[in-house]
């Protein structure tokens, strides 16, 4: 897709790597995101040790490949016990506050990450997206918009290919579109040229010490911008609205589906407008967006705001009317015996699941269905993230016909829903069924579903009690659904 740069054009990468010539480097995590980094270091002849909590047997062929490349391995339970290297690259899932990392920094080690290296050497314009919900879809929409406008793009970060491996293919006129998680942002000292924050709500509190730390980590997406850069915030979210007061950029834009904005993109009476100094221009009708749910309208508002000046209204309209979304995000699987099956495995928190429920159940007036109109069977549950299920319980009680629960949080979600059903204002008593596996849950949902129903996997929890990640969970769900007869 891209032509490799001519010899000598990626001098910046070579200059960066030259800093480590006489250093010992440790790379923590032998996963996909760090593999290009490890290869770069070894190809440059840098003394590199790969640290991973998995054993050599568990890593299998990956370990052998690193050893053949000349890297040392420090594996297993005590992989962090001897960090004496000069430079340490952490994996996103390992917080900088980990005691072993803190001690290494105290000894004089430099702590960094693959994403920080990418921002150091990226030769082109960068657009990055973060948020508690919607960041992958918004990132994908931005990439689709730019691609349809004829721009040369590179998509990565927390989504897709590690971008470091593609630096040699990037030209100054290209655009890197990046999804960033709080784990990547927590130690970032660089910010993108265009920063987008979709929304913020409690998330990853099983890893972050508290909500304040989570909010601070996310703020790094814009805190290191220059005055000439651009920051995009959600006016409807209190945290992101307040971010605007801290932004160093002189180009702050808002998006909103509730209120008019002075500069940015907003929704009014079903129409999406761009506003420049309170002067509005129509972009498109919201009903023409093919992705279901008001949350996806919001994702488009964010994406449109990010690409203002880079993408035409015509391209915005055509993209919104044709782009069918991202895997594991309200992904339609099939219809069988009049029942439609959707995979929303990415929903690893209550707010994401609530958005999914609303996408399928809200009437045009924004209200949930009457009891007689319910047709949604929800499969939920997984590993706890330290987030309360009270609000989720209320929304399930309002919107769901039958609830099928799996995983470690099944009892907690059940209690929250039963508590909501005990409220006199919500007299509907839905059936709650607990299953011991996803296979059992899908078969149960299929058995109890009738013509016109929707079966939705939207767990509201992480997958780590049963699966490696949400993709594995979603793929299994799809395999099971496609095997139904």
C-alpha–C-alpha distance, residues 25 and 86, integer Å: 6
Amino acid 278: pLDDT: 87
Our measurement of the distance from residue 410's CA atom to the centroid of its chain's CA atoms, rounded to an integer in Å, reads: 24
- The SS3 assignment for 279 reads strand
- The SS3 assignment for 261 reads coil
First-last CA distance in the chain:
41
- CA-nearest of 131, 83, 129 to 108 is 83
CATH 3.90.190.20 spans which residues of the chain? 331-483
Q: Which CATH code for domain 122-320?
A: 3.40.1190.10
Amino acid 382: pLDDT: 95
The sign one gets for the Cα dihedral 3, 318, 359, 254 is positive
Q: For 397-463, where are the E strands, in sequence order?
A: 402-405, 431-434, 454-457
Length of the chain: 485
Pick the CATH number of 331-483 from 3.90.190.20, 3.40.50.720, 1.10.287.110, 3.40.190.10: 3.90.190.20
- CA-nearest of 312, 430, 310, 316 to 380 is 430
- CA-nearest of 23, 21, 48 to 35 is 48
The owner of tokens 């979600």 is 413
102: CB partners within 8 A, 6+ apart: 96
**From the CB of residue 308, how many other CB atoms can be counted at a distance below 10 Å?**
19
C-alpha–C-alpha distance, residues 2 and 236, integer Å: 39
H or E element in which residue 39 lies: helix 35-43
DSSP string, 80-147: TTT---SEEEEPTTS-TTSHHHHHHHHTT-EEEEHHHHHHHH--SEEEEEE-SSSHHHHHHHHHHHHH
Enter the tokens of residue 35.
């593999």
Overall fold of domain 20-113: Rossmann fold (3.40.50)
Assign residue 70 a region (left: φ > 0; alpha: ψ between -120 and 50; beta: otherwise): left
Beta sheet of 339-343, edge-to-edge order = 331-336, 339-343, 454-457, 376-380, 402-405, 431-434
- CA-nearest of 456, 357, 459, 335 to 407 is 459
CATH 3.40.1190.10 spans which residues of the chain? 122-320
314: CB partners within 8 A, 6+ apart: none
C-alpha–C-alpha distance, residues 331 and 325, integer Å: 7
Where do runs of H (alpha helix) occur along 188-310? 211-223, 238-243, 294-306
CATH 3.40.50.720 spans which residues of the chain? 20-113
271: CB partners within 8 A, 6+ apart: 282, 284, 285, 286
CB 437 within 8 A of CB 406: yes
C-alpha–C-alpha distance, residues 382 and 407, integer Å: 4
Tens-binned pLDDT, residue by residue, of the chain (485 aa):
333 333 334 457 778 888 888 999 999 998 877 888 898 899 899 999 999 999 999 998 889 999 999 999 999 999 998 899 999 999 888 889 899 999 999 999 999 998 998 998 999 999 999 998 889 899 999 999 999 999 999 999 888 677 887 888 899 999 999 999 888 998 899 999 999 999 998 655 555 566 788 899 899 999 999 999 999 999 999 999 999 999 999 999 999 999 999 999 999 999 999 999 989 999 999 999 988 888 899 999 999 999 999 999 999 999 999 997 778 888 889 999 999 999 999 999 998 899 899 988 886 556 788 777 899 999 999 998 888 999 999 999 999 999 999 999 999 999 999 999 987 666 688 999 999 999 999 999 999 999 999 999 999 999 988 998 999 999 999 999 999 99
């Amino acid at each position: 897709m891209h032509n490799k740069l001519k010899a000598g054009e990626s001098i910046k990468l070579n200059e960066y790597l030259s800093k480590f010539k006489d250093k010992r480097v440790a790379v923590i995590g032998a996963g996909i995101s760090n593999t290009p980094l490890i290869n770069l270091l070894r190809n440059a002849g840098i003394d590199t040790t790969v640290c991973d909590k998995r054993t050599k047997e568990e890593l299998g062929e990956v370990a052998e490949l690193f050893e053949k490349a000349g890297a040392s391995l420090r594996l297993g339970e005590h992989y962090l016990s001897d960090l004496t290297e000069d430079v340490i690259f952490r994996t996103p899932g390992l917080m900088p506050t980990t005691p072993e990392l803190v001690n290494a920094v105290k000894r004089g080690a430099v702590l960094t990450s693959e994403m920080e290296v990418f921002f150091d050497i990226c030769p082109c314009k960068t657009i990055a997206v973060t948020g508690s919900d919607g960041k992958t879809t918004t990132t994908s929409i931005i990439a689709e918009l730019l691609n349809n406008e004829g721009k040369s793009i590179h998509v990565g970060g927390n989504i897709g290919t590690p971008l470091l491996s593609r630096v040699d293919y990037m030209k100054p006129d290209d655009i890197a579109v990046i999804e960033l998680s709080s784990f990547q942002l927590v130690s970032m000292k660089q910010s993108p040229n265009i920063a987008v924050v979709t929304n913020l709500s409690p998330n990853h509190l099983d890893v972050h010490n508290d909500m304040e730390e989570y909010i601070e980590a996310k703020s790094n997406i814009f805190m290191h911008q220059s005055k000439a850069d651009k920051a995009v915030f959600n006016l409807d979210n209190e945290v992101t609205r307040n971010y605007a007061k801290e932004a160093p950029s002189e180009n702050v834009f808002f998006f909103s589906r509730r209120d008019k904005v002075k500069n940015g993109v907003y929704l009014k009476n079903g129409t999406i407008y761009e506003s420049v100094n309170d002067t509005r221009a129509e972009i498109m009708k919201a009903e023409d967006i093919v992705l279901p749910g008001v949350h996806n309208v919001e994702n488009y508002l964010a994406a449109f705001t990010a690409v203002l000046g880079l993408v035409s209204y015509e391209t915005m309209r055509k993209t919104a009317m044709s782009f069918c979304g991202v895997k594991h995000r309200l992904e339609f699987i099939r219809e069988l015996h009049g029942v439609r099956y959707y995979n929303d495995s990415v929903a690893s928190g209550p707010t994401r699941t609530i958005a999914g429920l609303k996408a399928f159940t809200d009437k045009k007036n924004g209200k949930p269905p009457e009891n007689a109109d319910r047709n949604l069977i929800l499969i939920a549950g997984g590993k706890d993230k330290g987030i309360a299920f009270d609000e989720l319980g209320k929304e399930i009680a309002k919107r769901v016909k039958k609830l099928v629960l799996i995983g470690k949080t099944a009892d907690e979600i059940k209690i929250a829903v039963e508590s909501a059903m005990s409220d006199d204002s919500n007299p509907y008593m839905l059936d709650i069924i607990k299953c011991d596996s996803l296979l059992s849950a899908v078969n149960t949902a299929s058995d109890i579903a009738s013509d016109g129903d929707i079966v939705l996997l939207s767990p509201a929890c992480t997958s780590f009690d049963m699966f490696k990640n949400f993709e594995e969970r979603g793929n299994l769900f799809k395999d099971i659904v496609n095997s139904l007869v």
